[in-house]
Structure 1
Amino acid sequence: MDHVHDNHLDNTFDDTFLPITSITDGMGQAVMPDIFCLPIQIVNIIFIGNPANSKEFVLIDAGMPHSAGAIVSAAQERFGTDCQPKAIVLTHGHFDHVGALVELTKQWNVSVYAHELELPYLTGQQNYPKGDPTVDDGFVAKMSPMFPNHGIDLGGRIQSLPNDSTVPFMPGWRWIHTPGHTPGHVSLFRDEDRSLIVGDAFVTVKQESLYKVIMQEQEISGPPKYFTTDWKAAKDSVAALEALKPAVAITGHGLPMNGDELTQSLKKLVNHFDEMAVPKDSRYVN
């Protein structure tokens, strides 16, 4: 297995292959008529758009390295061979959410939107901190220092999300700044039906555990511990999302969750965040 170990800024993840794949890989589901969640290995991408009405869509996040072909194929299967995205919107810029981004922007000639605080990692100025293996005994956490942490440079393709909290080409949605996991992390919310696209502000699988990641054992969990650098902000972000009373939540990792299970699980996470989410040991806890 080859991994990117150095801290140079690189636009590709050609040397990166993670041999971790969940049992739900490639098994997409329509959470709403216009919200389609597709697991790519261990991370979710989301298509926003109703194929009954249009061949156009917005892509939320850009998956694992080497997944561009799978993403394009899934888009064509859902929206037609001549489909075209209006934009790509990022919840944040970690490697498993931008793995196919450079290839996709070349193929689709499309703009990318992210929070302004995330732009240094997407314009070649900065790298993320390395993964912290001390946060948990799980194998994924132990592997995290080998995960790519380098930024990428999207040049003129990357733009800041609008200051008025609207989301380009997604009428009815608004973005919410949910930092903690990264400085410019955002979640997306639609007030009309209380649909929430979480990113990694919280997840529905214990992301540090290899077994649970592979089996997609569903349980609400805080943000992936090994990459989360500001736990106070992470706690505040989860509280802000719980206050929205979402009806359905599509997270960056794990299966979508809805109804009473979501309501009760999210309330429990907020009330017991320090015990459930914050690692006992981490260079970032204090």
Structure 2
Amino acid sequence: MSTRILITGANGQLGKELVELLSSKEFDVYGCSRDDMDITNSEQVQEVINRINPEVIVHCAAHTKVDVAESEPEEAYSINAYGTRNVAVAAEKVGAKLVYVSTDYVFDGSGIEPYLEFSPTSPLGVYGKSKLAGEEFVKHLHSKFFIVRTSWVYGKYGNNFVKTMLKLGAEKDELSIVADQIGSPTYTVDLAQSILEMMETEKYGVYHFSNSGSCSWYEFAQAIFEEASLKVRITPCTTSEFPRPAQRPKYSVLNHSSLKLNKFREPRHWRKGLVDFINSM
């Protein structure tokens, strides 16, 4: 009998990557999109999870539109907080392990050292606050959980910074890119692999996963154009020159101490992940 795994948000960039990876490993994978299971509907969540009776649930479904969340906070909390509660309650009932994918936005970005898993959280905007509320529900309502915070995610599915840069780089000669926000890019292939490693253990808790090293969006863009051999002139600019509805953390580099202490593989450098991704495109 192969392990039954349910993935919420299976049409998202990480969800699709996980469905692909886990299916290739002979797991019995059930990818649920919003059409299959609306996580804000607790009865439906209960019904679907009872029926599939998974041994592991990887909860990727989320309201991730950071700027939109500022103008529709109820929608963000309904999905990220209460939707996560619904999944946690149903997962606990069937005895499934739960992996909840969270975010670097639970930190305010005022730090100068990489954030530890035990660093105090203080999200700036609705998106971060609603994801943190989801973490709290998981901690209080579930007994076998992995909370995996990640940052600056990109991969072959969905929309992301790398794809946007490749598209713009092919169309334009000049771009201005924000240089005063620092973080760590994360390749979905590496994140999915790490989630697979965790869920096969009972080393529950809060984890940070991003590729190692850090950069600004400006440096990230430079690297993308270099690796893709695109000739684009980029000018660094400040966050204040491009006002957005949601505040972004200025510094959200994640420290991987939980991975290290629990003897999981530590992530490779972000530049290596980027090279692999661009070659795969």
Q: Please, what TM-score do these two structures have when normalized by structure 2?
A: 0.28
Computing the radius of gyration from Cα coordinates, the structure with the larger value is 2
Q: Please, what TM-score do these two structures have when normalized by structure 1?
A: 0.28
State the structure with bigger RCO (CA 8 A, min sep 6), 1 or 2.
2
